[in-house]
Amino acid sequence: MRSVNSRKKKKTFKLKALSPLSQFRFRIVFVLLCLGLGGLLLRVGWLQLFQSDQLRALAREVQTEQKKPLGTRRSILDRNGKLIAIDERRFKIWAHPRYFRFPGDSSRTVRTPVEVAKRLSTPLSKNIDEILNKLGNYSSGVKLAEGLTPEKANTIKKLGISGIDLEVYPQRLYPHGSLFANVVGFLDLDRRPQAGLELSLDGDLKRPEKTSVIRRGADGTPLPIGVQRGVFDEDQLSLQLTLDVRLQEVAVKEISKQVKKWNAKKGVVIVMDIDTGELLALASTPTYNPNKYWDYPPSRFKEWSVQELFEPGSTFKPINLALALEEGVISPNGEVNDDGLVTVGGWPLSNWDRKPNGILTYPEVLQVSSNVGMVKIMNKLNASNYWQWLRRLGIDEIPETDLPGAVSGQIKSKQIFINQPIEPAVTSFGQGFSITPLKLAQLHAMIANGGKLVTPHITKGLRGDYESYFNTPAESKQVLSPEVANTVLGWMETVVSFYDESGIEVNVPGYRIGGKTGTAQKSQDGFNYNSKICSFVASLPINDPRYVVLAVIDEPQKPNAYGSTVALPVAKKIIETLLVIEKIPPSISKKQNLAIKS
């Protein structure tokens, strides 16, 4: 056997001798490094010295968020804090078709309007064709919808469609619709106030918003640098009214029903606190829905209880009797002969039923609503003094009230009033002059509260969770003596008792109520009196007066239209509601009431 010897090959390395590097190469590297470093230093210096302001501005633009005010308004509340008017966030949706892309698309992709319309159809509650018609052939700036709720806007935002922008804006809403339209008014589509408190208290209702600037970090966190005090605070004040939603609902319902029943032109109800002048209800019809004001004629936008005049008729008789008592021309126990007809200055004046009533006490004058009796009573009062009293009551003055558009009443000039005997004669039974329903309620509050003229008002002030600013009404003015006012108030209670005995239901069992009806003739041209205006005013409770309730219905068209048949039923329903809402205890117990009836 032959043996084979294999040899292993070995790798060999050739070593070179070390030699020093070239100094020239070192110098080149060193020079290049110095040039680079010098260039950096020069660039930094250039940026610091010549471009620092521009770069700082660019940085601030990226880091800073500017919050512009939306122009929101304060809410309006009723006396118990229920919302009457409120600003809510709404959104407009704008489309820019040339930028349409879906999440995950490349920057070069542009989606078609049809694809986008399919995704927007459900959240916008619109069909695809409707959206496409709005998009048309426009490439940018197409308003697809407005009035979107925050929920819908958030749904659209989550779709992440590029080319779809959401613009936030405030929208004024009136949750109770027409219930307070006559008082609150409305904003037009450009948010300009057009009527009611929205117009008269525009300055108080605007929230004090300012443009604020906030610097943020890279993650969006607000930085405490340059933040002004209060930048994160929001105005939470609301305007609170004296009105009560519950009472207003009943008032609107009852006055509307009666106006419709009698085919009347319009009607109004006022409920006033006799001591403070606060209005708990101010309802009128016909009215309008401020959320859709464009569907109604502009004539609906005013509140006629403070902006239109009427002749009060017999509801003014208690006021006149108070003036006669105050002047001392009659005594509380006096009498007057009503023979059914009296001639003044050649003018024959008769009672409403053209019948004589014989010898009447002054409470009976109110009970039968004797015109002849009133003419003879007020004839005892000097005409000049009578006219001065009408001025002292503020008949021809604009009342001090926060109700928008209030107007003054009208009386004849002093010369005409004194020199023409017919003027004080017709004034004695509430004609020949004119006032607003609000003024009549104020005068009856004067009788009920002991002779003081209070300031009728509808706003309490600004209310918030941590701070409130309430209004201080003007100080009431003592006009009549308390004794005179209480005497006439007692006479008005006998009127209601007389109505009950006559079959006209006014009283609420257990409560003492005073009142007076009025049926005034109304002239359209100053000569022909072919229509009527019916009213009823009540004060309650007589033992501890707190409220005045007034109902007025203009131009009822059906036969037998009187204050007792047209206006009184409205006031009675409201009185019943008022007694419950305000928790007014009975004046007398049921046992006492049964004893009195027996």
Q: Give the number of other CB atoms < 10 A from CB of residue 492.
A: 25
CA atoms of 185 and 187, how far apart (whole Å)? 7
Q: Give the number of other CB atoms < 10 A from CB of residue 331.
A: 10
The neighbouring-strand residues paired with 463 are 238
457: which DSSP letter?
B
Q: Which two tokens stand for residue 364?
A: 């009976």
- Cβ atoms of 399 and 388 within 8 Å: the answer is no
DSSP H or E segment with residue 241: strand 238-241
Residues 6+ apart with CB under 8 A from 325: 331, 332, 484, 487, 488
Cβ burial, residue 531 (10 Å; 0-12/13-18/19+): middle
Residues 6+ apart with CB under 8 A from 367: 494, 495, 498
3-class SS of residue 452: strand
Residues 6+ apart with CB under 8 A from 290: 174, 177, 178, 181, 184, 185, 186
Residue type, 202: D
Q: What is the dihedral of CA 362, 367, 368, 369, to 10 degrees?
A: 80
| Catalytic-residue membership of 314 | yes
**Which alpha helices (H) appear in 428-567, and where do they start and end?**
437-448, 482-501
Question: Which of 256, 284, 314, 434 is an active site residue?
Answer: 314
Residue type, 84: I
3-class SS of residue 324: helix
What's the distance, Cα to Cα, between the start and end of the chain in Å? 159
Phi, psi of 210 (to 5 degrees): -135, 155
Q: Which two tokens stand for residue 16?
A: 């070179």
- Cβ atoms of 384 and 418 within 8 Å: the answer is yes
Phi, psi of 9 (to 5 degrees): -85, 135
**Which alpha helices (H) appear in 379-523, and where do they start and end?**
383-392, 414-419, 422-427, 437-448, 482-501
- Cβ atoms of 595 and 510 within 8 Å: the answer is no
Q: Which two tokens stand for residue 299?
A: 């004539």
3-class SS of residue 285: strand
- Return the active site residues: 314
